Structure 1
Amino acid sequence: HLPAVAAPRADGRALVIGLGSGVTAAAVALHGYSQVDVAEVEPAVARAARQFERANHDVLRNPRVRLHLGDGRRFLERSEGGYALITSEPSNPWLSGMSGLFSSEFFGLVRERLADDGILCQWLPAYGMTPRALAVAVATVRESFPELSLWGVGGDLLLLASRRPLALDLDAIAVRMRAPGVREELAGLGLREPTDLMALRYLGPEGTARLVGESAYGRHSDLRPSLEARAVEGLYDAEAQARNFRTLERLSEPLSAACSSGTDVAARLTRSLLAAARPDAARRELAGVAAGDPWRDGLERDLGTLYVMSGRPDAAVEVFGSRLKRLKGVGRARLDLAYALLEARRDAEALDQLDAFSHGGALAAEVSAARRASGRGPAFLALSHAFGAAGDGTGAARAFRGAVREDPAMWGGGAPPR
């Protein structure tokens, strides 16, 4: 759905290279294209696709879909061109026979067969490739298409490429996302708003240029298939996918600058990025949300919590500390900071925050006892009681789980209660 939703238009003809289960072809066919050509090299795949009729909406019987058995590149060479969309989803580039669908010559052919305002959507694996090999793949596409954006979906990457700049009009995207069939499928993926889709975008033209600059292997061509040779370096690297996404996050840029319309864009993008578990990107967008915005406090709190859940409590301390200053010491904000400090193992500072919250009340004695305790469980337990006193059941439960985790002996050594 991504290229059809983000494209300047979703009409004319489209081409899908690689049938697979038929889900991609079915997604393209849900949009307004007059004809969808599908090129599949293996007849057995076409037969197997009929076993996925519930998922692919029986796409091969759709009157607008035309299946062409044969090599996708050869089909493209013989076609008359003028496609509004070409989506290429072959198998992994290190497999035999796939190299030619990732080469400079192939992408030059794609450029010739696209309409002037047409879009290429190229699938790339985030797994099994080193960041440098990924940079080679992107650099090869960039030879033919100056306008690139790279999007992440689970363990897969989608590279959108075009001759012209791709204006991401959130209002227009919202209309396309509400189309019959499209809305239901995207909602099933948790994508209900245009900003949910935007939260999948990691790099734009500038970011992809920086990624290409990190390529040490040049480009991938038919005569010099460097990607085919180098891709196997990450084939058995269990951390390859995580490393690639860390690289993309490091090179990413603010998303709001790429959006050409929409209201409350920064706040909505922050919310969507938090849902996508991208705290650094969410933090950048949050900087554009006004201090008086009604969304601000909740977004800031969710960001700090996500940092803790992501194993980065020091970043959460920064977020919650800034929030506490902005809110001028409001009690619950102080407790959130105390929680992040405890998770960062900065217990003395956390207990200082609890002391400030208690104002010498009944909690003060518990905080004092926690300072004398040999374990860390009592500090979390005191925080749990403080959250409860503030009426925050979620915070109380979270801190209580921390107490059990840190000092199981307090509870007889059993499993933490839920």
Structure 2
Amino acid sequence: METKESKICNTAISILQKLMDDTKCKNELELKNKYKNELNLILNTPIIVNMPIVLYRSRLASKVHEDITLPSTFSYFPLTKSSNGVPQRGRMNLSGQSFFYASSSPDTNYKEIKKDIKEGDEVYLSQWGITANSGLSIYSVILPDNISTSADKNTCICITNPNIANGPLGDYLRCLSDIILKNEDDANKEYLASSIISNEILVETKGKSYKEKDGVETQFHYDAIAYPSTRIGNGEAQYYNLVITPQFIDNYASLNYVVKGAIKKDLQSIDVKNVGFNHNGTIEWYEPFINVDDVIFNPIGFIDKYGKFLSIENGIVRDLNGKLISKNELQNFLNKEETNIIKEFTERGFIIPKFSYGGIIDKESLIKEDTLDFFREVNEWKLERDRIIHDITFLKIEMMYKISLKKENINSLYCHEE
């Protein structure tokens, strides 16, 4: 005998399957009108988040023509400019519907914004903060394979409760997830079903209510949908995306910083060239640089012909002609070679200032000192220590430098089309 739960879930699955069938022959407007009050989604209790949250958004630099000193440039598409077809339909938005897409990690962004993205493409990556006690109300989508008693709770977001995973509700949730996360080959049909479903969750549920166990009706709504990346990961929390309503972003989110850089070979990270900080609603742009006048070279040791490191202390060094070389003379040698070394390292990209954008806190956090060890070949030097003669092939040197920031001309940051 079919249980009440089975009947409800099977009916809901039947409607979802009908929606998928209809995407083959109906357009977005027809689907929206047909399923406005017919979708009959089984919605779970919202996940309410009150702790501060950090999110990341990215945009292709070639697509950015707006004022890059304004935080809104890196936020959702302006509601005042939204119309039929703009922005285009996405996984979680209908045509002309604007939402704030973001990721829990910067590593998930680049494959999400463009399918054929490649190494060297320039992007803007912005970090946003959601304030504490925002009451962010989330509907969570879970990978079908992670709705299982065998899913690993330590590595992914999942449902392992056997009463759900092995029951009719588990069947429904897997069906719903399959549709939302489906990648469609036909661009004209892409995201038709998932955008209809997300519109139901984020827009049509406002003002609805559900009955508590004690019979009391409680109103609910969703500010966001959390869903796993379809490009990277297996449902791990660090590879989750969120789509959030503009109203919530306006009330509880603010831009922290933006970096501009080129995508690396892994298509998940970038080489940062510029960074902009939100200062009272205006983004001030900076370029990290190294002042070569502040670079200091220190000889710290030798490498013998066997590849063994030998400290510079407590030994006598002689050159090819047997001339004694003191530590001061080594320092003078490096001082004379300083210009050539810096030129060589600059050309080879060794002293390009680099930093981890995930570790940025503020402008001051990027101003730091660092070191780089390198080797300089020497010709038949010998080190005498404890009556043992060592044939020296390389001098090991420590370079100390400081990364600073200088104001950037924003005109140079725009991508100018040929």
* TM-score computed with the length of structure 2 as normaliser: 0.26
* TM-score computed with the length of structure 1 as normaliser: 0.26
- In proportion to residue count, which structure has more helix? 1
- In proportion to residue count, which structure has more strand? 2
> Structure with the greater relative contact order (CA < 8 A, sep ≥ 6): 1 or 2?
2
